[in-house]
């Protein structure tokens, strides 16, 4: 058997990597052989994974906690599995799914069964991620209907805002001057001014 490696991946929105670290410690992976990437779901650049790939040699063994650590979607997981097992010729052990252990069943039937299990699990993992995102979206929409506000809290307007708005609407001062009197950026002043109940013309009086 070759060298033992471990790979950990967490996104910026996930909990820390503690569970994955403990799982790799339990199978006694040397700490210097554990590679960890942290990145957002949008940007899947993985410098530590690429560095690990360069070190992996035939008959080495790569341990991961779960199959979705290899990629962010079904196609990517399958592609990385192919690269590791076919091109690099290393073994993979998925700790939370004992059936996905390429050290076992090196014959044709064993490989066939592993490939089927891999495709099913990859599909299920991607579907679960989609379902989570959909539930989050539905939860946000429901919260908005209840009046819950998201994002930065709205800053209150200054005390002289309505008075200055009146002068601006009457053409007594320009929008730039009005914004300065309110100590606000012009874009913020204009946006809030248009939301006032008094009937402004809607034209920018710069």
Q: Which residues are catalytic?
A: 11
Alpha helices in the chain (DSSP H): 18-26, 47-55, 74-82, 108-145, 161-169, 175-181, 186-194
**The tokens of 159 are what?**
């005390």
Taking the C-alpha atoms of residue 19 and residue 76, their distance in angstroms, rounded to an integer, is 23
DSSP class of residue 86? I
Pairing of strands 91-94, 61-64: parallel
User: How far does Cα 16 stand from its chain's mean position?
Assistant: 13
Taking the C-alpha atoms of residue 21 and residue 18, their distance in angstroms, rounded to an integer, is 5
């Amino acid at each position: 058997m070759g060298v033992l490696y471990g790979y950990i991946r967490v996104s910026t929105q996930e909990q820390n990597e503690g569970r994955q670290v403990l799982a790799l410690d339990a199978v006694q992976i040397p700490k210097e052989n554990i590679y960890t990437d942290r990145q957002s779901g949008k940007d899947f650049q993985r410098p530590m994974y690429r560095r690990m790939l360069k070190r992996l040699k035939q008959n080495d063994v790569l341990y991961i906690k779960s199959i979705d650590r290899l990629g962010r979607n079904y196609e990517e997981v399958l592609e990385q599995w192919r690269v590791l097992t076919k091109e690099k010729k290393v073994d993979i052990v998925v700790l939370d799914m004992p059936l996905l252990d390429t050290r076992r069943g090196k014959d044709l039937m064993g490989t066939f069964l592993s490939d089927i299990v891999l495709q099913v699990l990859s599909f299920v993992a991607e579907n679960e991620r989609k379902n989570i995102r959909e539930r989050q979206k539905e939860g946000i929409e429901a919260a908005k209907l209840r009046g819950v506000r998201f994002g930065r809290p709205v800053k209150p307007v200054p005390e002289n805002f309505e008075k200055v708005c009146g002068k601006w609407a009457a053409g007594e001062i320009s929008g730039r001057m009005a914004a300065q009197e309110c100590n606000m950026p012009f874009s913020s002043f204009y946006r809030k001014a248009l939301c006032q109940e008094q009937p402004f013309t809607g034209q920018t009086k710069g």
